[in-house]
Amino acid sequence: MLAIKLAYRNLIGAGLRTWLNVIVLSFSFLIIIWNRGIINGWDRQARNDTKNQEIGGGQYWHENYDPYDPFTLTDAHGIIHETLKSNDNFAPILITQATIYPGGRVQSILLKGIEPDQKILTFPTESLKSDIEEIPVMLGSRMAENNKLKIGDFVTVRWRDANGTFDAADAKVVHIFKTDVPTIDNGQMWVPLQRLQKMMQMDGEATLVVANQKITSAPDLPHWLFKDQDFLLKDFAELIKMKNVGGYIMWLFLLLLAWIAIFDTQVLSIFRRQKEIGTDIALGMTRGQVIRLFTVEGAMHGILAAILAAIYGGPLLYLQAVKGMSMPEGTDDMGIAIAETIYPYYSIGLIVVTALVVLITTTIVSFLPTRRISKMNPTDAIRGKIQ
């Protein structure tokens, strides 16, 4: 208690010297939290968007389906199991390779058939409800931009049906949707499921079936393998892990800056305040008490920095959490889910852990130079003689 009281007095009494340190430390504090908040926000948003728009509560894959090998698509289809026919809980998707000819060019794509009335994924499949003669197709904005397609445009689609026969027809772009999940956008066109089944002569068949996020169990079904969210988000989790490593390096770097500031202040204090240390000892402080006093002083820099960071940083971080941070152009072509605007997410855990790590480490860093005090000769210290 005494150490806290005296340390507080010393810090407040030291004025500008204290505040300069505290300001530097509070910057570090804030940037550490902000940096982690951005990655957390991106992770959260991307996971949510991917779950809502692509993977749902998990997917049943046809046993031959391998998303990394398009040649498996020829065999990766089968009659949808009875269990998976509930429109409220499942959304079947049939996938096939096709070729389109936009503006005289040739472009290989994936044709994906989905039920326009499905309720599992949150992208606008209802736009596919159409009575037109041509194939109504819906595509993402990246795909539309890459192929210079607009709503109302026609494009020739060629595909190979279940019997290996090539066929072709005109498709009409009925809707272009904007999504943060590039894996439902790049190189693919969405068509009504039944239309695709008919085109492919695969009535009642699908390549995969997306489950509702609310389902609590996924029974084993013959020829259909259930892939849970963790499995389906594995690639993304790996990427976030990699980004986290980068984030931790930044985090460590900022902490290092904070430590150096504290360490430097402490070393300087012990040199400059030798006379004061000697006087403290002469007035009856034990060396242990002096060491505690200096350590608490260092640690208090951390506490004051946390308070200061909360005062000016709290509103700043809140503002950014609400307004979000616009991502630079081009990041949505990276093949992973990145929203145009990332809303940083600062969890209580992040703030508490960061505060504890900064406080504990600054206390340790404060303590290290103070061990020198125990080697001081008090009679020399009183005279301010450099030791």
Partner 1 sequence: MMENNQLITIQNMAKDYPVGRGYFRALNDVNLTFKRGEFTGIVGPSGSGKTTLLNIIGSLDVPSEGKTTVLGQSIGELSHKKAAKLRNEHLGFIFQTYNLLPVYSVYENVEFPLLLLGKNAEERKKAVMDALEWVGLTDKLKSRPAQLSGGECQRVAVARAMVKKPKIVLADEPTANLDAENSHNILQTMEKMNSELKTTFIFATHDDKVKKYLHRKISLEDGRVVKDELVEGMGNG
**Interacting residues with partner 1 (CB under 8 A):** 2, 5-6, 9-10, 12-15, 275-276, 278-289, 378-379, 382-384
Nearest partner of 221 among 340, 129, 111, 85, judged by Cα:
85
Rounded Cα–Cα distance for residues 99 and 136 (Å)? 16
- Quote the CA–CA distance of 249 and 243 in Å, as a whole number: 10
Residue type at 5 in one-letter notation: K
Is residue 201 a contact partner of residue 163, using CB atoms and an 8 Å limit?
A: yes
C-beta of residue 322 within 8 angstroms of C-beta of residue 346? no
Q: Which residue has the tokens 């806290």?
A: 4
Of 49, 181, 179, 197, the closest CA to residue 111 belongs to: 197
CA distance 124 to 376: 75
Rg (CA), the chain: 31
| Max CA pair span of the chain | 101
What is the C-alpha separation between 212 and 60, in angstroms, rounded? 11
Nearest to 200 by CA among 94, 126, 48, 331: 94
At 46 the three-state DSSP class reads: helix
Closest approach, Cβ 332 to partner 1, in A, equals: 55
What is the C-alpha to C-alpha distance for residues 299 and 370, in angstroms, rounded to an integer?
12
